[in-house]
Amino acid sequence: MILPGAAPVPGNVLLRRIVDHMFIDGSWDEARSGKTFEVTDPATGEAIGTVPDGSAEDALDAIAAADAAFGSWSTTTAQSRADLLYAAWQLMTERSESLARLMTSEQGKPLKASRAEVKYAADFLRFYAEEATRVTGEWLPSARADQRFLVLRQPVGVVAMVTPWNYPISMLTRKMAPALAAGCTLVLKPAEATPLCARAVFEIFEEVGTPAGVANLVTALDPKPIGEVFTTDPRVRKLAFTGSTAVGRHLAGVAAGNLKRVSVELGGHAPFIVFPDADPVRAAKGAAALKFLNAGQACISPNRLYVSEQHQDAFVSTLVDRVSKVKTGNGFEDGVGVGPLVNEAAVAKVAGQVDDAISLGAEALVGGRRLTDEPFDRGHFYAPTLLAGVRDDMRIYREETFGPVAPVISYGDVDEVLNLANDTNYGLAAYVYTNDFSTAIRAFEGLRFGIVGINDVNPTAASAPFGGMKDSGIGREGSHDGIAEYLETKLGGFAL
Residues 118, 168 share a domain? yes
Asked whether residue 5 is domain-assigned, the answer is no
Please give the average per-residue pLDDT across 304-313, as a whole number.
96
Asked whether residue 382 is domain-assigned, the answer is yes
Q: Is the pLDDT of residue 337 over 90?
A: yes
Please give the average per-residue pLDDT across 376-397, as a whole number.
97
Q: Is the pLDDT of residue 278 over 60?
A: yes
Average pLDDT, the chain: 95
Q: Is the pLDDT of residue 471 over 50?
A: yes
487 confidence band (pLDDT: 50, 70, 90): very high
Please give the average per-residue pLDDT across 37-46, as a whole number.
96
Asked whether residue 208 is domain-assigned, the answer is yes
184 among known catalytic residues: no
Asked whether residue 438 is domain-assigned, the answer is yes
Angle at alpha carbon of residue 285, lines to 345 and 111, rounded to 5°: 50
Residues 281, 252 share a domain? no
Total number of domains constituting the chain: 2
299 among known catalytic residues: yes
Residues 377, 487 share a domain? no
Q: Is the pLDDT of residue 255 over 90?
A: yes
Strand partners, 141: none
Are the C-beta atoms of residues 473 and 265 closer than 8 Å to each other?
Answer: yes
Residue 455 has phi, psi (to 5 degrees) of 55, 30
| Percent of the chain clearing pLDDT 70 (strictly above) | 96
Please report the pLDDT score of residue 18 as a whole number. Answer: 53
CATH of the domain at 72: 3.40.605.10
15 confidence band (pLDDT: 50, 70, 90): very low
5 confidence band (pLDDT: 50, 70, 90): very low
Instruction: Exactly one of 106, 117, 265, 485 is catalytic; name it.
Output: 265
Please give the average per-residue pLDDT across 135-159, as a whole number.
97
Give the lowest-confidence range in 18-32, 108-122, 287-301.
Answer: 18-32
Please report the pLDDT score of residue 218 as a whole number. Answer: 98
Residues 46, 133 share a domain? yes
Are the C-beta atoms of residues 134 and 480 closer than 8 Å to each other?
Answer: yes
Q: Is the pLDDT of residue 354 over 50?
A: yes
Query: Which pLDDT tens digit goes with each residue over 197-216?
Result: 999 999 999 999 999 999 99
Closest by alpha carbon to 114, among 17, 216, 43? Answer: 43
Query: Which pLDDT tens digit goes with each residue over 180-192?
Result: 999 999 999 999 9
Q: Is the pLDDT of residue 6 over 50?
A: no
CATH of the domain at 290: 3.40.309.10
Asked whether residue 109 is domain-assigned, the answer is yes
Please give the average per-residue pLDDT across 263-289, as a whole number.
97
Residues 436, 327 share a domain? yes
Residues 403, 330 share a domain? yes
Residues near 262 by Cβ (< 8 Å), separated by ≥ 6?
238, 239, 241, 252, 255, 256, 474, 475
Distances (CA, A) of 211 to 65, 123, 161, 180, 259: 11, 22, 18, 11, 28
Please report the pLDDT score of residue 1 as a whole number. Answer: 27
Q: What's the domain range around 114?
A: 10-267+472-493
Asked whether residue 144 is domain-assigned, the answer is yes
Are the C-beta atoms of residues 264 and 473 closer than 8 Å to each other?
Answer: yes
Residues 25, 41 share a domain? yes
Residues 276, 250 share a domain? no
Residues 244, 281 share a domain? no
Query: Which pLDDT tens digit goes with each residue over 232-252?
Result: 999 999 999 999 999 999 999
Residues 261, 292 share a domain? no
Please report the pLDDT score of residue 408 as a whole number. Answer: 98
Instruction: Exactly one of 106, 184, 197, 299 is catalytic; name it.
Output: 299
Asked whether residue 467 is domain-assigned, the answer is no
Residues 80, 35 share a domain? yes
Separate counts of helices (H) and strands (E) for the chain:
15, 23
Separation of first and last alpha carbons in the chain: 62
What whole-number distance in Å separates Cα of residue 132 and Cα of residue 328?
A: 42
Please give the average per-residue pLDDT across 88-102, as a whole number.
98
Distances (CA, A) of 264 to 84, 173, 450, 459: 26, 15, 13, 19
Q: Is the pLDDT of residue 230 over 80?
A: yes
Residues 255, 182 share a domain? yes
Please report the pLDDT score of residue 107 as a whole number. Answer: 98
Give pTM, 2 decimals: 0.94
Give the Cβ contact number of residue 377 at 10 Å: 10
Give the lowest-confidence range in 8-17, 143-152, 363-372, 472-481.
Answer: 8-17
Q: Is the pLDDT of residue 3 over 70?
A: no
Asked whether residue 2 is domain-assigned, the answer is no
